[in-house]
């Protein structure tokens, strides 16, 4: 049976996954997610990718990798891997942590990852394996499963090949939710960062999938930077919108509008001073939890963009760099650095969202690729 995300029993009491924060290695760690949740109550959070092998080999040490505080719900665990046995074990080991969904990484182009045989985005070339992996993951958990992928790899970049991937994975496994980073990956040795900017975005492929697979759910990802664009993507039909870099680089200006503008909630009136007071309490329990790690610098890292484009921002960052060298608690760190930020900045709630930006999806339905006709369907009707 095909579950819709919104009606799956485990999802019923959550806000709909209209807005999610992308999985980002070394960025969406516990510290960042704590900050993100203090700013938005409704955003769905994703972990960094965890390799199935890491979970399996660290099974006596799992809290360090998998623990999070209950406020972080709804939260999705992203795993990566290419070994069915390890994917099964990893899923089982993660069950007690009660993630709300398990997502499988089929989009990472990093050679470190891709070099391990077939891992990350290379898996898009082997939909049969992805379907097996998803079936194995689903068999070892009772929460929904989803796939995050790109729109193609190297010259396997036609709309039809993308549809074949989606068709095979969704018909041969219990996967009904796909997150589409709407550019292809190049495996020719360009860096992971270049692989997030050089291949062009093709949102028309995403909206083609919505048209051609009406029983599945699709979340759009890639290059979406403001809540206005999030709403525009949803107006054009996307079930969900996932934002990565903008949510990390400008957490306040992006996430600060999510509950009101995307979810229609009344403004909470929360200020950055209040958020930082709570973050400090969290931070002082986190610092040094595992011996020398994490450091104040590790815990404070997600704050780097909190004052983006505000008066005092560059002075605050300079003070932060100096403070990292000797501060041993978050309290010390804030006492030493926040003097750079004017009180009115710290005490003002998020304002109106910027408006009047262009709608990148306004014309998208006139640009769609020709409808998908699966070869299997052709055979069936021949």
Ligand X SMILES: Cc1cc2nc3c(=O)[nH]c(=O)nc-3n(C[C@H](O)[C@H](O)[C@H](O)COP(=O)(O)O)c2cc1C
Q: Which residues are catalytic?
A: 108
Q: Which of 5, 24, 35, 133 binds ligand X (CB under 6 A)?
A: 24
**Piece of the chain touching ligand X by CB under 6 A; list 216-224, 286-294, 305-313, 354-362:** 216-224
Q: Return d(Cα 161, Cα 170) in angstroms, integer.
A: 14
Q: How far is the CB of 290 from ligand X (least distance, A)?
A: 21
Residues of this chain, 141-180, that bind ligand X according to CB under 6 A? 148
Q: Which of 4, 48, 156, 317 binds ligand X (CB under 6 A)?
A: 48
Nearest Cα residue to 32 out of 231, 283, 334, 236: 283
Q: Binding string, 108-137, against ligand X, x = CB under 6 A?
A: x-----------------------------
Which residues neighbour 335 within 8 Å (Cβ) at sequence distance 6 or greater? none
Residue 359 within binding range of ligand X, rule CB under 6 A: no
Q: Return d(Cα 165, Cα 175) in angstroms, integer.
A: 12
**Piece of the chain touching ligand X by CB under 6 A; list 29-37, 91-99, 242-250, 342-350:** 242-250
Phi then psi for residue 49, to 5 deg, are -65, 135
Nearest Cα residue to 18 out of 98, 95, 74: 74
- Find the length of the chain: 382
Nearest residue relative to ligand X (C-beta): 244
Q: How far is the CB of 219 from ligand X (least distance, A)?
A: 10
CB closer to ligand X, 194 vs 335: 194
- Size, binding site for ligand X by CB under 6 A: 22
Task: Give per-residue burial for 171-180: e unless 16+ CB within 10 Å, then b.
Answer: eebbbbbbbb
> How is the chain split among helix, strand and coil, in percent rounded to 5?
45, 15, 40
Which residues neighbour 83 within 8 Å (Cβ) at sequence distance 6 or greater? 52, 53
The answer on whether 222 is annotated among ligand-binding residues is: yes
CB closer to ligand X, 299 vs 327: 299
The answer on whether 148 is annotated among ligand-binding residues is: yes
Residue 27 within binding range of ligand X, rule CB under 6 A: yes
Q: Which of 17, 19, 22, 44 binds ligand X (CB under 6 A)?
A: 22
* Neighbour count for residue 288 (Cβ, 10 Å): 15
* Eight-state DSSP code of residue 371: P
The answer on whether 305 is annotated among ligand-binding residues is: no
Q: How far is the CB of 178 from ligand X (least distance, A)?
A: 12
> Measuring CA to CA, how many Å separate 100 from each of 9, 95, 206?
11, 10, 24
End-to-end Cα, the chain, rounded Å: 27
Q: Which two tokens stand for residue 135?
A: 């079936």
* Helices 84-94 and 127-139, packing angle to 10 deg: 30
Residue 78 within binding range of ligand X, rule CB under 6 A: yes
Residue 181 within binding range of ligand X, rule CB under 6 A: yes
Binding residues for FMN: 23-25, 78, 148, 181, 221-223, 244-245
Question: Which residues in this chain contact ligand X in the complex, by CB under 6 A?
Answer: 22-25, 27, 48-49, 78, 105, 107-108, 148, 181, 196, 221-224, 243-246
């Amino acid at each position: 049976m095909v579950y819709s995300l919104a009606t799956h029993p485990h999802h019923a009491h959550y806000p709909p996954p209209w807005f999610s924060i992308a999985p980002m290695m070394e960025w969406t760690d516990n510290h960042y997610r704590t900050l993100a949740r203090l700013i938005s109550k409704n955003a769905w959070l994703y972990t960094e990718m965890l390799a199935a092998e890491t979970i399996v080999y660290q099974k006596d040490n799992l809290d360090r990798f998998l623990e999070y505080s209950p406020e972080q719900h709804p939260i999705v665990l992203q795993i990566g891997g290419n070994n069915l046995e390890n994917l099964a074990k990893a899923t089982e080991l993660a069950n007690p942590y009660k993630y709300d969904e398990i997502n499988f990484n089929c989009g990472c182009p990093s050679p470190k990852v891709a070099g391990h045989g077939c891992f990350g985005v290379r898996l898009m070339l082997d939909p049969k394996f992805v379907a097996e992996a998803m079936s194995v993951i689903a068999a070892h958990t009772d929460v929904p499963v989803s796939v995050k992928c790109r729109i193609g790899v190297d010259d396997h970049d036609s709309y039809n090949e993308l549809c074949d991937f989606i068709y095979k994975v969704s018909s041969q496994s219990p996967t009904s939710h796909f997150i589409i980073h709407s550019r292809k990956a190049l495996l020719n040795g360009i860096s992971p960062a270049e692989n997030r900017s050089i291949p062009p975005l093709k949102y028309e492929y995403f909206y083609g999938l919505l048209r051609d697979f009406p029983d599945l759910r699709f979340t759009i990802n890639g290059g979406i930077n403001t809540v206005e664009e999030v709403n525009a993507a949803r107006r054009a039909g996307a079930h969900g919108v996932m934002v990565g870099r903008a949510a990390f680089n400008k957490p306040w200006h992006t996430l600060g509008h999510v509950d009101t503008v995307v979810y229609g909630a009344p403004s909470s009136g929360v200020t950055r001073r209040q958020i930082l007071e709570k973050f400090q309490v969290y931070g002082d329990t986190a610092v040094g939890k595992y011996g020398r790690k994490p450091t104040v610098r590790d815990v404070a890292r997600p704050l780097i963009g909190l004052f983006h484009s505000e008066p005092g921002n560059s002075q605050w960052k300079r003070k932060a760099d100096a403070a990292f060298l000797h501060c041993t608690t978050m309290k010390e760190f804030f006492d030493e650095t926040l003097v750079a930020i004017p009180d009115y900045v710290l005490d003002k709630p998020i304002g109106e969202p910027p408006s009047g930006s262009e709608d990148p999806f306004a014309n998208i339905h006139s640009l769609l690729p020709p409808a998908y006709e699966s070869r299997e369907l052709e055979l069936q009707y021949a």
